[in-house]
Structure 1
Amino acid sequence: MKNTLRAARLSGLAGAVLLALSAQAFAQITADQAARLGQDLTPLGGEMAGNADGSIPAYSGGLAQPPAGWSASQGYLDPFATEKPLFTITAANLAQYKDKITPGMQALLAKYPTFKMPVYPTHRTAMVPASIAAKVKQEAVNVQLNGFGVSNLNGTTTPFPIPKNGLEAIWNHNLRYLGGGLQRTYASFPVRGSGDFYTVRIQENRVFDTNMDKQSENRLLNYSARFISPATLAGTVQLVHEPIDQVKEVRSAWIYNVGQRRVRRAPDLAYDNVNDGTEGLRVTDDFDGYNGAPDRFDWKLVGKQEMYVPYNDYKLGDKAVKYKDILTPNTPNPDLMRYELHRVWVVEGTLRKDAKHVYGKRTLYLDEDSWTVLASDAYDTRGTLWRVGVHPLVQFYDAQVPWYRANIWHDLSNGSYYLAGLANEETQPWSFGSKGRFVDLQPDALRRMGK
């Protein structure tokens, strides 16, 4: 009898586990929920309405067109250049605004006397092409979350516009629309606490599988990065094949070392490994706000909150502003930063007991209108706040792509920071919507790229 009861309990437990796994694998939103997109919700799932006091306006479609007479050689001109700050948050008046400032930015205000947050009027500029928005609505009822991976995307770039958990929100960020392809040359800078820095210039080609001449099963994108400077890295090339469902397939990566003149596999281009040219101030999955397989953390959707975040910071990328004028000690020149009040999804990742990472916890703040990580707080395994990410977003209006004007990671332990993605002094305009050839983004092509 005892054995029979025990078998029944085990059978019931197994059934419950299978039911839970099934629910996780096939949890989608309903047709009625999807119908809200473009109605009371924006096409990507943000709230269409503004906030109660009007400091966050209602969504009106975003910034879809460049200024009259604009050309790419001018860089991205600031459509709000005549605006002045409404107020500026400093350490002295932090208490007045503390409930709308991330713990990381509070730490920066407390640590550095030069750090401040000029707050400007809010503009909800983020938007994507109508065809991309239509695909999001169409496929929202079909996409599945399978463990830590996703399936049944069918071309959508926001798989979970009405997220039920933190992992779904993370996938919205990782898969968000970036124009289908991108070619750019940009500059990055490790800046020591003393203010000393050097320039790392990179030529990047990022092509999503939909823009390749030959598609690959379970492929999200193909990525190559060729170092132009400094001399110690010039000619080094990285290649990444990024899968969609990272349960089925892990990231594949290769590197060409110009000194050795050989191509080798690079399994360390993932998770918490340190990349060349960063001085250890950023780990691999910090890139682009956050990227890669999310399986080393348990992700909790804390909720939505109104916060002052870096937004519409066209001034930071102004062609008239030189790199040396941006790179001040401890923090980029605060007069070139712009913060606005926006609603963000707060997602908290806690390191899994069976996983390893230099971060024990990380909190990401995702823009409700684009699913872009606008700020990040990373804690070490002892629970101490360690790195603070500040990621200004702009609307690249010619391509209808909301993306980063720059990425900044502050290291609170040593007063240094790493600023990536500037193009102020680069001559070649960034190109969105670029196409790719399969043969050009294979390991055999790395030697050609490095020359």
Structure 2
Amino acid sequence: MKTPLRAAHVAGLTVTLLALSGMAQAQITADQAARLGKDLTPLGGEMAGNADGSIPAYSGGLKQAPAGWTPAQGYVDPFASEKPLFTITAANLAQYKDKVTPGMQALLAKYPNFKMPVYPTHRTATVPDAVAQKVRQEAVNAQLNGFGVSNLNGTTTPFPIPGNGLEAVWNHNLRYLGGGLQRTYASFPVRSSGDYYTVRIQENRVFDTNMDKQSENRLLNYSARFISPATLAGTVQLVHEPIDQVKEVRSAWIYNVGQRRVRRAPDLAYDNVNDGTEGLRVTDDFDGYNGAPDRFDWKLVGKQEMYVPYNAYKLGAKETPYKDVLTANTPNADFMRYELHRVWVVEGTLRKDAKHVYGKRVMFLDEDSWTVLATDAYDTRGTLWRIGVHPMVQFYDAQVPWYRANIWHDLSNGSYYLAGLGNEEGQPWTFGTKGRFVDFQPDALRRMGK
């Protein structure tokens, strides 16, 4: 059931260019911001649990690693001893339907091996105290300007009490991810037959705050080097990600190892298809959702209790081999975990003067972290097409709530794309990394590709 929105939401649920163009939208009052850390969590979630206790009260999140933990172990499951409370299948869906997204309902109907094991709810998401303090401090200052944002002053959740859908989208795009990240991960395009191949990528993502030289309007610097398959090995992508992508478009380059040259890559945005995905994911699907939001009108539908992929440590465990996860049509349900959480529901409708392969997209955002946990994407005829299932964990050593994997199902062909696993990769993921300006310039791509 939807919970009531605050009164200030009513006038601004549907965000249109006419309503926002050329003006700054006023933000919350000091009295409203004072709720953060009291009846609201530091990032704007409800501190209280739900009426029947199936969603517990927020108690600060998971701030510490298990005793004796080392990064070489990977992120071990603090809830490994728990068993599912029940499992949602096509046969019993009617009993739980009001808490299952339309996309997951479609997957249950289409694939007999798609199941949703539901576990006890743990509100593990948290960020460092200094990050939370900055959110509280700047909540009265951050503003929307058209489809962009201004007056961030270092906050990573500019709109903890959102007044419209666009504000919620910006909370996701700007959310705290540790300042910097280095990782090697594996992704898999899985055909309807169950056949797949492995795409391995070395990623270096450093936010502007962690760079030795800051750039105006820069959110982060990103590089990705393909390790496999052989057809892509040595290819390198470089992205300069602006904060306001309407004011300044994303800058991107690609080094092609076969041609041995660096070229601009203006297609690394919106609905263009990326290498190694077999067309199962578009660029702005990456990381749940990313990039300029100006091709859609965003509506804040409300907050709902939903079964969403959460605390999915088993999926990314070192003892879980890739081959056991990758079954036909959908990942092996034995390694998935769903919990009941409150999520913000945001609906994006393609603007009449814009182009995109999606006519509508609906996103379900975690109230405690602003992470997109599930997405339903419709084609321009209104048919449900791609379903995103985005399992999250708390990376407890870094106090970063983020994805353990991203999964996109294509209902039209029975294939899916699973990205972001590190189970069989040798080096542990590193958060909080620093970056050098010179290493994120086009001239550096050729060196990286060798």
Letter in 1 for 2:332: N
The 5 Å alignment of 1:58-77 reads 58-77=57-76
Whole-angstrom distance in 2 between the partners of 1:406 and 1:277:
16
CA distance in 1, matches of 2:17, 2:231: 53
Are positions 1:260 and 2:233 aligned together? no
Which structure's CA Rg is the greater one?
Answer: 1
Query: Higher mean Cα deviation, 398-407 or 243-252?
Result: 243-252
Q: Give the Cα separation in 2 of the matches to 1:77 and 1:442.
A: 36
Structure-1 separation of matches of 2:278 and 2:20:
42
Shift of 1:245: 1.3
- Looking at structure 2, the residues matched to 235 and 71 of structure 1 have their Cα atoms a distance apart, in angstroms, of 31
In 2, the alpha carbon distance for the partners of 1:102 and 1:24 equals 35
- What is the match of residue 227 of structure 1? 226
Residue matched to 1:375? 374
Number of aligned positions between the proteins = 435
SS of equivalent residue, structure 2 residue 24: helix
Note the C-alpha offset of 1:20.
Answer: 5.9
Structure 2: where are the runs of 5+ without partners? Answer: 1-15
- 5 Å-filtered alignment, 1:403-422, equals 403-422=402-421
State the Cα distance separating 1:26 from its structure 2 match.
Answer: 3.4
1:249 aligned partner: 248
Tell me whether 21-30 or 440-449 shows the greater mean CA deviation.
21-30
Provide runs of 4+ in structure 1 moved above 3 Å: 17-24
Aligned twin of 1:312: 311
| Conservation of the 8 A alpha-carbon contact between 2:225 and 2:449 | yes
Matches of 2:413 and 2:331, distance apart in 1: 15
Compute the displacement of 1:248 (Å): 1.6
Partner of 1:110: 109
Task: Please show how residues 142-291 of structure 1 align to structure 2 within 5 Å.
Answer: 142-291=141-290
Q: Distance in 2 between matches of 1:175 and 1:406?
A: 19
What amino acid is the match of 1:211? N
Q: TM-score, normalised by structure 1?
A: 0.95
> Which residue is equivalent to 2:27?
28
Label 1:169 to 1:19 Cα distance change in 2 as closer, same or farther (>3 A): closer
Q: Deviations over 1:303-323 (max 9, x none)?
A: 000000000010001111100
| Counterpart amino acid of residue 38 in structure 2 | Q
Q: Is the 8 A contact 2:21 2:146 kept in 1?
A: no
What residue is the counterpart of 1:79 in the other structure?
78
**Superposed CA offset, 1:185-235 (max 9, x none):** 000000000000000000000000000000000000000000000000000
Aligned equivalents of 1:18, 1:388: Cα separation in 2: 27
Structure 1 residues 331 and 23, CA, compared in 2 at 3 Å: closer, same or farther? same
Post-superposition offset of 1:247? 2.4
Cα distance in structure 1, aligned partners of 2:283 and 2:202: 17
Structure 1, residues 125-158: CA drift from partner, whole Å, max 9, x if none? 0000000000000001011100000011010000
Instruction: Return 5+ residue gaps in structure 1 as ranges.
Output: 1-16
Relative distance call for 1:264 and 1:285 in structure 2 (3 A) is same
Q: Check 1:304–1:19 CA distance in 2 against 1; reply closer, same or farther (3 A cut).
A: closer
Structure 1 stretch displaced more, 307-316 or 26-35: 26-35
Match of 1:393 in 2: 392
**Normalised TM-score (structure 2):** 0.95
Identity, in percent, stands at 90
Q: Which residue identity is paired with 2:433?
A: S
Deviation digits for residues 305-362 of structure 1 (CA, Å, limit 9, x no counterpart) = 0000000010001111100000000000001000000000000000000000000000
How many Å apart are 1:246 and its aligned residue? 1.7
